[in-house]
Amino acid sequence: MSLVLGIAAESGSGERRVAMVPSAVSVLRKAGVQFVVESGAGERAGFPDAAYAEQGARLTGRGEVFGTADVLLQVRCPGANPDKGAADLHLLRRGQTTIGFAEALTAIETVRTMAERGVNCLAMELMPRITRAQNMDALSSMATVSGYKAALMAADTLPRMFPMLMTAAGTVTPARVLVIGAGVAGLQAIATARRLGAVVSGYDIRPAVKEQVESLGARFVVLELENAGAEDQGGYAKDMGRDFYRRQQELLADVLAQQNAVIATAAVPGKKAPILITREMVSRMAPGSVIVDIAAERGGNCELTRPGETVEAGGVRILGPLNLPSAIPYHASQLYARNLAAFVGCLLQDGQLRLDREDEIVRETLVTFAGEVVHPRVRELLSSSLAHAV
Ligand code: NAD
């Protein structure tokens, strides 16, 4: 019997992406798997039912997708779908596998329930950042989309234009844009703001990114901070502690006061985003300035950010957008689907799913398996939450 992969419409409110696009269905079909797709699943992302049917997928209702699929491919597994995930959890059955973003390190109660119900879960956000898994790195794909959209939002909200213009009516000076955090999203925000003609600076706690920032035509901001050891072995920033952040805020304040727009993307994996922009720093910015805080998903880099809202303080607008990839659903879905197809492709052996726990990619992403929570970090979090409860 060939393996059946299921694609259900994403049920999270405001979620417009779909986990598989027709071209990725076609790639996986060649590996001998079958697809059941919920009617309308790709519609909000711009992929009609007919395009899935053309690739040999069977279109059906939601109940049947959950009922017949061996493996469900999702953007948001129950843990990453706070409003509707519980209903999906009910539809998942023992022995079934779900692959998608799972918020496995934060939604630990949902992880526990999945294990109890015998549902196997592979979390895309835990994909190791190793060369072999580069084409499965959905966090990077989604960060690319977010960075691009954040720059567009800044340009759209600012009461000025981004480029310098020399016209018969005079010269328009270019906008000054600072991007804080030059990881995947930040670099894309820098590139996009540059393409729109702004004068862009980039800042990051990891000095290693200086060259990347400069290669995009932006200036790298250097603060006099002792940041040796700011980067962990995986290339991520570390949590630097309150005193460090206070000093960083003091030094950043002058840089910030000169900007028309700030795009904040700084994050530390598994932690709340560091506060790098205080209320006082915002009060020193010129009225009309804009802050797009895409770290809002993790609480925000600005003290005044309200996730999902726009706040105004002294004429400065602070945007705290959530789920930016969903705002560009066609390409976000296309990139995500390719990441998923590469991942599933690496899990398939003779057309069947083989979860080889000797393989680093499986070991790092497998959260629940055969009724147990198997991921060491999630297990640790669960036992410390149990210890707290006692
Ligand atoms: P992220 O989303 O965790 O963080 C965004 C950025 O915020 C990072 O560049 C981080 O250094 C920065 N930051 C954190 N605290 C800060 C502070 N106090 N002040 C200023 N900046 C701060 O990171 P990400 O974008 O997902 O990835 C970061 C890095 O990981 C990449 O640049 C790269 O080196 C590495 N990476 C490797 C691979 C791979 O090998 N496959 C893939 C993606 C990323």
Per the structure block, which two tokens stand in for 258?
A: 């000169």
Using CA atoms, how far apart are residues 16 and 323, in angstroms rounded to an integer? 10
Nearest CA to ligand 1 atom 32: 183
Residue 134 bears catalytic tag? yes
Instruction: Indicate which residue of 134, 283, 352, 385 is catalytic.
Output: 134
Which residue's CA is minimally distant from atom 9 of ligand 1? 183
Distance CA 336, CA 23 (A): 12
Choosing from 44, 55, 137, 298, the catalytic residue is: 137
75 lines ligand 1 (CB under 6 A): no
Nearest CA to ligand 1 atom 17: 205
Instruction: State the pairing for strand pair 170-172/176-180.
Output: unpaired
Question: Cβ of 174: how many Cβ atoms within 10 Å?
Answer: 18
For the CA of 237, the closest atom of ligand 1 is 11
Q: Residue 201 has which token pair?
A: 């600076």
143 lines ligand 1 (CB under 6 A): yes
pLDDT value, residue 389: 67
pTM strictly above 0.85: yes
Closest CA to 231 of 117, 102, 129, 381: 129
CA pair distance 8, 378, nearest whole angstrom = 26
pLDDT at residue 227, rounded to an integer = 75
CA-nearest residue, atom 23 of ligand 1: 183
Place of tokens 């509707």: 84
Task: Measure the CA–CA gap between 81 and 12, rounded to whole angstroms.
Answer: 6
Distance CA 318, CA 302 (A): 8
Residue among 236, 359, 377, 379 flagged as catalytic:
236
Q: Of how many residues is the chain composed?
A: 390
Check if 180 has its Cβ closer than 6 Å to any atom of ligand 1.
yes
Residue 63 has, within 13 A of its CA and on its CB side, a CA count of 0
Residue 390: predicted pLDDT: 59
Our answer on whether the CB atom of 295 is closer than 6 Å to any ligand 1 atom is no
Mark residue 342 as left, alpha or beta (left: phi above 0; alpha: psi -120 to 50; beta: remaining). Answer: alpha
Whole-number pLDDT of residue 76 = 97
Nearest of 236, 198, 234, 235 to residue 216 by alpha carbon:
198
Closest to 337 in 3D by CA, of 59, 94, 41: 41
Name the 3-class secondary structure at 113.
helix
Q: 13 an active-site residue?
A: no
Helix (H, G, I), strand (E, B) or coil at 237: strand
Nearest-angstrom CA–CA distance, 363 and 367: 8
Contact 265, 236 (CB under 8 A): no
Please indicate whether residue 183, judged by its CB atom, sits closer than 6 Å to ligand 1.
yes
Measured in whole angstroms, how far is the alpha carbon of residue 270 from the centre of its chain? Answer: 13
Q: Which residue has the tokens 């953007």?
A: 75
First-last CA distance in the chain? 47
Both tokens assigned to 71? 């493996």
Catalytic residue among 11, 23, 39, 140: 140
Both tokens of 257, joined, read 């006061």
Q: Is 39 a catalytic residue?
A: no
Residue 151 is classified by DSSP as H
Closest to 63 (Cα-Cα) out of 97, 35, 87, 33:
87
206 CB within 6 A, ligand 1: yes
Q: Are 186 and 154 in contact (CB under 8 A)?
A: no
- For the question of residue 326 being annotated catalytic, the response is no
In sequence order, what DSSP letters do the residues of 54-107 get, joined into one string? HTTPEEE-HHHHHHH-SEEEEEE-GGG-TTTHHHHHHH--TT-EEEEE--TTT-
* pLDDT score at 362: 98
Regions of the chain short of the pLDDT cut 50: none
Look at ligand 1, atom 40, and give the residue with the nearest C-alpha.
129
Q: What are residue 263's phi and psi, to 5 degrees?
A: -115, 115
Looking at 129, 132, 246, 279, which residue is catalytic?
129
Instruction: Determine whether 243 is an active site residue.
Output: no
Question: Residue 43 corresponds to which tokens in the numbers above?
Answer: 């519609």
Q: Which residues, in sequence order, are CB contacts of 185 under 8 Å at separation 6+?
A: 143, 144, 146, 147, 150, 265, 294
Task: Kindly report the protein residue whose alpha carbon is nearest to atom 13 of ligand 1.
Answer: 266
